[in-house]
Amino acid sequence: MNNDDLIYASLLLFSITFGYFIRLFKERELRKWVSTLVGLLLVFVVSGFHIVHPLICTLINALIIVNMDKTTCAKYSFAFQFGYLAFFRTTEYFGIPYPPAHTNLVQMVLTLKLVGLAFEVQDTAVAKAKARDKSEDSDTNIQEVAASVSPGFMDIFHYAFTHVGVLTGPFYTYRTYNDWLHTPFSDHAPCFEETLRKLKWLPLFLSLFLTATYFYPLQYAKSDEFYSERSFWYRLWYTYPSFFIFRMRIYSGLIMSECVCTMAGLGAYPVATAPVAGQGPSKDFALLRQVVSDPEQAKKATYNFETIHNIDPYGSEFIPTLRQSMKSWNICIQYWLAVNVYKRLPRNAFRTTVTLFVSAFWHGIYAGYYLCICTVALYLPVEDLYVKHFTKGLGGMAGKIADFVVWFFRLQALSYMAITFFLLTIHDSFKYWNSIYFCCHVLWAAFYMVGVVAVKARKKSNMEKDKSI
C-alpha cells in the first residue's frame, strides 16, 4: 500500500468517526456549518493551495445556477465543469503545478455534485412550468420535485464542501443532502449498526488486496522482463490478478466511503419510500411528509441507506453478463450517468458510446481510461447477441453451464479492458495488447460474425419449416 492509499484510508477513517459526532449536533444550522468547515479542512489537507480549483468551480457553478435561466442552466454548468476538468488535468501546460492525486478525487466528486445540482434545478423549473399548465391535481411526483430543489448561493457552497463524501463520494443529490439537514431520519436510522455491517467486509478485501499486490505488483506489467522473459499465456493470464487487485482496492475504498455516509446518517430514508441508489425516495412522498412532521411516526419507521449504496461486490463478482454486472459497480455514479447523460441524449445507437465517453473523460485524460471504458461498447453487442439468441431461457443444468460460460467471457473481457486502466498511456496500453496480439478484440469479432451467421441460419431454417407445414 503506497502513501497515497494510506492517506486516503486515514482520512476516510477520520470521516467515518466524525460522522458519529456530527449527529450529536441537533441544531441543524450548526450541523451544516461544522460539516462544511470540516469538509474544507479535509480538502485543504489533501490539496494545499490547490484548493483554489474546487473553490473556483463552486463559485462559478453557483453563479450559473443562481443567476441564469433555470430551465437551461444545466448545459452551461455541464460545459463549464467538464471544460474546467480538462484544464485541471493539464495545468502543467499552463505553467501551473499539477494538483495532487487526492485533489483530483475531490474535483471528480465535485463535478458530479455541481452538474447534478444544475440538472436538479433545471428539472425543478421545468416541472414547475408543467405544473402551471396543468390542473391542480398534477402528478404528485412533479409537485414533489418542484418543491424540493431551489438552493441559494451558500446552500450550493455547503452542499459542495460538506465533509460527507467530499473526498471520494458516493454521489448523492442536493435533495438528499437537504433532507439530511432538515428531516429527523438520521436521528432514528440504525447508523452505527449499518456502518458495522458494511465494515465487516473491509478486512477481507484489504487483506486480499495487500496479498495480491505483494505477489503480482501492477508495475511489473510495465517492466522489460515482463515482455522479454514471459510467455504469451503468462502475459494474458496476468490480466486476472491485475483486475483482482483493482477490484479489491475499489471495494475497500467504496465501502469506506459508504460508511462515511451511514455513520453521519446521510442517505437514510424510510424503507416504504423505496429509496433508489443515487436518487433517494422513488414513491409514497405523502408518507415521507408524514414521517417528517410526526415525531412518533419517525421513531417507528424502518430505515435503510439504499440511497448511498454504491457497490455490490457479490453482484459485481458473480452476475453473468457485463450489462447487468455494471449495475453493481459504482452504482450512484451509474445513476448520475444514466439520469444526466444517457436519458437526455437522443434515442439512437450512439448514446451508449457517448455515455461511456463521458465516463472516461470524467475519470481522466489518459488514453488508458478511454481504451478501457469505451471498449465496453465493442463487447456488449457480442454479449447481447449470444444472450438473446442462444442462452436466454435455458433452464436446469444447461442454463447453469450457459451462465458460467457467459460469466467466464465477461471476466476475461473486463480483465483485458481493465489492464489499460492501470497502464494509462497509449504506448503502454498498446504495447501490452500487441504482446498478446489483440486476442480479445479478434475473438469478439470472430464470435460476433459466427453468431450473426448462426442466427440467420436459424431464422432461415425456421422459415423453411413453417413453409413445409
Residues with catalytic annotation? Answer: 330, 363
The cell for 90 is 493539464
All cell numbers assigned to 4: 497515497
Q: Is 151 helix (H, G, I), strand (E, B) or coil?
A: coil
Instruction: Provide the β-strand partners of residue 303.
Output: 270
Place of cell 487487485: 245
CA-based nearest residue to 284, from 292, 295, 131: 292
Query: What are the residues facing 270 on neighbouring strands?
Result: 303
Which sign, positive or negative, has the C-alpha torsion 402, 413, 258, 119? Answer: negative
Quote the CA–CA distance of 30 and 253 in Å, as a whole number: 29
Cell of 262: 451511514
CA 148, distance to chain mean position in Å, is 23
Cis peptide before 100 (omega within 30 of 0): no
**CA–CA distance, 356 with 207 (Å, rounded to integer):** 32
Q: Locate cell 463552486: which residue?
A: 58
Buried-state track 44-82, b at ≥16 Cβ within 10 A, e below 16? eebbeebbebbbebbebbbebbbebebeebbebbbebbe
Q: Which residues contact 77 (CB under 8 A, 6 or more apart)?
A: 61, 64, 65, 114, 115, 117, 118
The sign one gets for the Cα dihedral 84, 89, 90, 94 is: positive
Tracing cell 438473446 back to the chain, one arrives at 388
- Please give the Cα distance from 25 to 64 (Å, whole number): 32
The radius of gyration of the chain from alpha carbons, rounded to an integer in Å, stands at: 24
312/451 Cα distance (integer angstroms):
31
User: What count of other Cβ atoms lies within 10 Å of the Cβ of residue 172?
Assistant: 30
Residues 160 and 113 sit within 8 Å (Cβ to Cβ): yes
